[in-house]
């Protein structure tokens, strides 16, 4: 059944991956092109995914235009044209080690008091760009809800931040999510110190799912869709060179392991359907209805569609530190093309069939466990 975009609640999940965020932008570009009027209920991100989520949710003007400026202007590290044509490609792909004018610069402490330095760079440029592109009030608006995750350095635990936190979602939270050591410094928030969320988990699925459960005021008839961008695929060719070995190591370290999560979504969807049927058959005055656990279970909502856009980037475009203009452009195109090829442009949700056998089983189960004597 083809469904109108306005009737679908969508949450987008963005991984961390440095310069690979350009690929995520390409996917979002295709998503907004293919679905006129598209507006997700939530965007959850880690590291560079958190930056993208913040711009998408809180852009002062059009979010896609803001992301375009971010990736095609602010984050590009290349000599000015036409001089860039004279720079050997290998050198051009490595220039970001000297700094990125829209994201980070060398840490001054390395040259003055190196024994006190805890990072190679500082992220002052990123704060400036966020200030230029993002409206703090819109960042804390109702929809889309921006959610970012960071690792608490002291406790080693992942923490998620959104507009519901005291004080709301701030640029500090976004920067904390991308504070990957030893390149970037820890970020202090309310006396606690944070590093990149990808050190703990590079896929913020849980907060995105929670946002979907709450979407539409919990309306069971609403269609809920989860879109995940997989920057680091689980499956890849066997490496045969040292660069390929290093690339594969990073892929496995930050992969989302989505193949393990899909069965969970299928099983949980069946569970939600079963709970809905039990609730229909359960006597109105049953004591079970007052049980807090039962009430909590009823708040779960089915994820009707679980879409994963998996990166097809070749090895030469998969280096997270390569911010060269040609590579950024190639990643944006690849993300756009992959999104369309993998069917992100429309939502097809199968109409649930009326399974008489399941209904019969539910009725029998209710009678056995709670009995008809408790009915109204």
Q: List, by residue number, the catalytic residues.
A: 47, 196
Instruction: Report which of 78, 76, 70 is spatially closest to residue 25, judged by C-alpha positions.
Output: 70
Paired sense of beta strands 8-14 and 145-152, if any: unpaired
Paired sense of beta strands 8-14 and 223-230, if any: parallel
Rounded Cα gap, residues 100 and 135, in angstroms: 23
Instruction: Report which of 299, 316, 315, 244 is spatially closest to residue 92, judged by C-alpha positions.
Output: 316
Query: Can you tell me which residue has the tokens 């110190």?
Result: 193
| Percent helix / strand / coil, the chain, rounded to 5 | 50, 15, 35
What does the DSSP assignment read for 252-313?
Answer: HHH---HHHHHHHHHHHHHHHHHHHHHHHHS-TT-GGGG-HHHHHHHT-----EEEEEE---
State whether the Cα torsion 202-19-29-129 is positive or negative: positive
Question: Which helix or strand (DSSP H or E) is residue 366 part of?
Answer: helix 356-370
Bond preceding residue 359 cis, omega within 30 of 0: no
Tokens of 48: 């560079």
Length of the chain in terms of residues written: 376
Rounded Cα gap, residues 88 and 104, in angstroms: 23
**Environment class of 121 (CB within 10 Å of its CB; exposed 0-12, middle 13-18, buried 19+):** buried
DSSP 103: T
Rounded Cα gap, residues 370 and 284, in angstroms: 11
Tokens of 152: 């608490």
**How many C-beta atoms surround the C-beta of residue 97 within 10 A?**
12
Which regions of 70-156 does DSSP assign to beta strands (E)? 105-106, 121-122, 145-152
């Amino acid at each position: 059944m083809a469904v109108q975009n306005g009737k679908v609640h969508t949450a987008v999940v963005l991984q961390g991956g440095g310069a690979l965020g350009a690929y995520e932008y390409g996917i979002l570009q295709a998503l907004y092109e293919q679905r006129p009027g598209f507006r997700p209920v939530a965007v959850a991100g880690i590291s560079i995914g958190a930056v993208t989520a913040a711009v998408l949710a809180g852009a002062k003007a059009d979010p896609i235009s803001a992301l375009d400026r971010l990736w095609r202007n602010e984050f590009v590290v290349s000599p000015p044209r036409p001089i860039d044509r004279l720079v050997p490609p290998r050198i051009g792909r490595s220039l970001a080690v000297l700094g990125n004018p829209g994201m980070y610069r060398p840490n001054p402490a390395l040259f003055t008091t190196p024994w006190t330095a805890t990072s190679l760079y500082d992220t002052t440029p990123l704060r400036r760009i966020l200030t230029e592109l993002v409206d703090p009030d819109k960042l804390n608006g109702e929809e889309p809800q921006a959610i970012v995750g960071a690792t608490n350095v002291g406790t080693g635990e992942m923490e998620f931040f959104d507009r519901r936190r005291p004080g709301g979602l701030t640029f500090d939270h976004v920067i904390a999510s991308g504070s990957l050591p030893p390149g970037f410094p820890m970020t202090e928030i309310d006396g606690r110190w944070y590093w990149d969320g990808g050190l703990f988990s590079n896929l913020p699925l849980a907060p995105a799912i929670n946002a979907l459960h709450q979407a539409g005021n919990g309306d069971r008839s609403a269609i809920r869709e989860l879109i995940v961008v997989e920057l680091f695929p689980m499956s890849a060719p066997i490496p045969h060179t040292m660069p390929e070995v290093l690339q594969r190591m990073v892929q496995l370290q930050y992969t989302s392991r989505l193949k393990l999560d899909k069965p969970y979504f299928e099983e949980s969807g069946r569970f939600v359907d079963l709970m809905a049927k039990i609730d229909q058959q359960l006597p109105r005055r049953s004591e079970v209805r007052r049980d807090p656990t039962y009430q909590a279970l009823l708040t779960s909502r089915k994820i009707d569609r679980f879409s994963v856009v998996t990166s097809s980037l070749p090895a030469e475009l998969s280096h997270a530190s390569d911010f060269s203009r040609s590579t950024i452009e190639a990643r944006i195109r690849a993300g756009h093309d992959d999104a369309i090829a993998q069917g992100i442009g429309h939502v097809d949700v199968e109409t649930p069939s009326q399974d008489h056998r399941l209904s019969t089983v539910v009725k029998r189960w209710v009678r056995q466990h709670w009995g008809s004597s408790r009915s109204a």
